[in-house]
Chains A and B, each alone.
Chain A
Amino acid sequence: MMRPRLVDGARLQYDDVREEHVLLIPEGAVRLNDTAAQVLELCDGRTLDEIAAVLSERYQGADVTDDVRELVDTMGERGLVIDGAA
């Protein structure tokens, strides 16, 4: 996926009752850990490499490209993220 973005109508939100991040989708909610929430927040049309670069900076230069790709692919298989470049 070149430029991952959330599918139409998906909305990231912090659930302050359960104290966790969720991706709200039609008639469902996907619970997210902090890392997943950070990645999805950046799925706004920028490239995978750009997303990885932003996160790498947050994590003292660690190479997170593979982790980001894996997460984005998993979300893609579930129909939650699509390729904005396609």
Chain B
Amino acid sequence: MIPDRIIEQGTLSTDGSRASVDVRIPWYRALPASCIAGARLTIDGVAAEADTLRWEMNGEVRTFAEMVDDTEQWWFPLDSAVLSGEVPVTAGADCEVRVDLTLYIPYIVIGANEVLHIEEHDTKTMKAVAA
């Protein structure tokens, strides 16, 4: 729907071991935390290990597992979330950033006990800044 906007240009930051990037929802309407099923963060071809990934939204930093039951916090279409993970990046270097997102679309029922899920990705090149 709006995958070209997932990664916000110029938001890659690093402390040397962890990197983070601002991300926008690729859908036209807000979705609750429970419907943000997972993400991958890959920089110059190196993916952050899944257990190091964290999602910051509405001021809270959590794992995806911690968001599964949360139907109170929403990712609003105008807001940036922050995806971070352990992946080495050199500050000042040009990096190819790729973000993969899996979202559930809670109002599109496609089976007896199943709603649509979408997998979207975006790739952008930007300089990393020191956190």
Q: Note whether A and B form a binding pair.
A: no
Which residues from chain A sit less than 8 Å from chain B, CB to CB?
none
